[in-house]
Amino acid sequence: MSKSTAPDPAELASQATIFIKKAASVLEKEVAAGIVAAQSLEKRLIDVDGIRSRSPDELMQRFRRDAHDLVDVVIDLVALGVRSAETIAERAVEVAKEGEGPDKGRPQQSREQAKKPKRP
Amino acid sequence: MLSADAVESGLARYRAQLDEALVRYLPDREPRKYLYDLVRSYPSRSGKGLRPALCMATAAAFGGDPARAVASATAIELFHNAFLIHDDIEDGSDLRRGLTCLHREHGVALALNAGDAILALAVRPILDNLQLLGPALTFAVASEIEHMVVQSVEGQAIELGWIRENDCSQETGDYLEMCLKKTCWYTAIHPCRIGALIGSGGTIDPNRLNRFGYFLGAAFQIQDDLLNLVGERGSYGKEIGGDLLEGKRTLMLIHTLNMSGVRDKAWLQHFLDRPREQRSEKEARRVLELMQEHGSIEFGRQCSRFLAGAALNEFYETYGCLPDTPDRRFVHDLVLYMIRRKL
């Protein structure tokens, strides 16, 4: 399929078949590797029909379990938020206290820095 | 009988719908000078809009309203434009769609950032599908786009790796694999798959579109590479011979490397081993002469025709059972139009 200027039709057809078969095998290999994996992920994440076909009790149980998990997560987040707020408030009070002290105007140390022993 | 006018008017029709959507998705606010003016630059240049057209036409051919495919088509086009900006930097190109490349006009840093911005902006139309198509189809389209983007960057990495290592051992099969990854998924396979999914309301197996899209995409890429070698600058829009100076591993170059004798092959390898700035136009002309001598240009033309023929065959397999509509005819005519672009 290179230097010959006008190959006969049978030769051309043979060349075309070989080339297209080669191309098709490249595609098949790639499709087997990639798209199938993507589709199975999609099926796993959105199985609407599968969910609909289950019994209402099972669906309700699943909802309760999910809802319960969700409540736990929210409680954890609130607790974390409260703890963070307390810490921030503590720090704010400390910074404010330090700001009123004799070192007012100087860069402030954090509590951890302040506790560190100074180098001899 | 192919009517180039019909294809071009079809492209213009889909392009108009795309442009309307782009206005909505590309911000018109500050910082304009260093970001949003750059972001709008490539999309506003006179591209064919092949990918969104394939997506919308396929959606309509499969019985859907093409308007339902506009958001997905816009996302594909935005990803394409981001890839172009980054590709032009990676390849050290000068021209894009007949105008100076973004990094030559504004510098690499701003061009890179504009490319990143377009990638981010491409997410919004995918999310907008939720209202338009519902959750299941939106997820299916998003999965398609994720696969498309990953394949494209993998393909680009393969080609950049060949250039970086000056690997000259490729054969036709290697080229076809790289071309599938770098070009075909995002130029034709996924636009068709997404269009068919939307048009059929998710009832069609998109794998039916793979072979058609692949053969069409590969025919398009080889034709594009031929245009770069022997096309007319006015109608091509990029620098003629630019691929030679870049050392791009086209099917024609791979063919020439495999057909050359020891001496010519050593010269070619030495030419390709140097950075672009050290390759002269005279040397690039010599590479082109070698391509002509070994029949590589004709080889490329023939492969492009074989692939277009195979794409047409697949068209009848996949679109053949659909009603004969202007959108279906457009997809059909596009196959031959792509390989008859002016050389």
The per-residue DSSP string of B57-96 comes to HHHHHTTS-GGGGHHHHHHHHHHHHHHHHHHHHHHT--EE
Q: Do A16 and B306 touch (CB under 8 A)?
A: yes
Joined together, the tokens standing for residue A45 give 């994440």
Summarised one tens digit per residue, pLDDT across range B179-217 is: 999 999 999 999 999 999 999 999 999 999 999 999 999
Task: Report CB contact under 8 Å: B211, A19.
Answer: no
Q: What is the dihedral sign for C-alpha B208, B210, B215, B216? A: positive
Residue of B nearest to A32 (CA): B207
Report the distance separating Cα B153 and Cα B182, nearest Å: 7
With an 8 Å Cβ cutoff, is A22 touching chain B? yes
DSSP helix/strand/coil, B100? strand
Of A1, A27, A38, the CB nearest to B299: A1
Of the CA atoms within 13 Å of residue A102, those in its CB half-sphere come to: 0
Token match 């990676």: residue?
B90
Euclidean distance between CA atoms A13 and B297, whole angstroms? 19
**Which residues are bridge partners to B99 per DSSP?**
B96
A30 contacts chain B (CB < 8 A): yes
Q: Do B147 and A48 touch (CB under 8 A)?
A: no
Q: B151 contacts in A (CB within 8 Å)?
A: 34
Long-range contacts of B13-18 (CB under 8 A, 24+ apart): B14/B49, B14/B52, B14/B53, B14/B56, B14/B57, B14/B66, B14/B73, B15/B48, B15/B49, B15/B52, B15/B53, B17/B52, B17/B56, B17/B66, B17/B67, B17/B70, B17/B73, B18/B49, B18/B52, B18/B70, B18/B73, B18/B74, B18/B77
Identify which of B207, B215, B306 has the shortest CB distance to residue A35. Answer: B207
Q: Is some CB atom of chain B closer than 8 A to the CB atom of A23?
A: yes
B180 CB neighbours in chain A (<8 A) are 26-27, 30
Backbone angles phi, psi at B96, to 5 degrees: -140, 125
Residue of B nearest to A4 (CA): B295
- CA dist B88 and B85 (Å) reads 5
H/E/C letters for each residue in A46-101? Answer: CCHHHHHHCCHHHHHHHHHHHHHHHHHHHHHHHHHHHHHHHHHHHHHHHHHHHHHC
On whether any CB of chain B is under 8 Å from the CB of A50, the answer is no
Measured between beta carbons, which residues in chain B are less than 8 angstroms from residue A39?
A: 143
- In B, which residues are within 8 Å of A38 by CB distance? 143, 146-147
Contacts of B202 in chain A (CB under 8 A): none
Contact check, Cβ <8 Å, A19/B172: yes
pLDDT digits (tens, 9 = 90+) for B74-101: 999 999 999 999 999 998 888 898 899 9
Output the CA torsion B118→B119→B121→B127 (10° steps): 160
Architecture of domain B4-339: Orthogonal Bundle (1.10)
Q: A27 at the B interface (CB within 8 A)?
A: yes
Q: pLDDT 10s digit of each residue in chain B, 343 long?
A: 557 888 999 999 999 999 999 999 999 999 999 999 999 999 999 788 999 999 999 999 999 999 999 999 999 999 999 999 999 999 888 889 889 999 999 999 999 999 999 999 999 999 999 999 999 999 999 999 999 999 999 999 999 999 999 999 999 999 999 999 999 999 999 999 999 999 999 999 999 999 999 999 999 999 999 999 987 765 555 666 788 988 899 999 999 999 999 999 999 999 999 988 898 889 999 999 999 999 999 999 999 999 999 999 999 999 999 999 999 999 999 998 887 776 5
- Where along chain B do its domains lie? 4-339
CA dist B173 to A22, B29, B224, B235, B308, Å? 7, 47, 19, 30, 18
Best CA proximity match to B55, nearest among B78, B79, B71, B40: B71
State how far residue A117 is from chain B, nearest Cα, in angstroms: 46
Burial of B308 (0-12, 13-18, 19+ CB in 10 A): buried
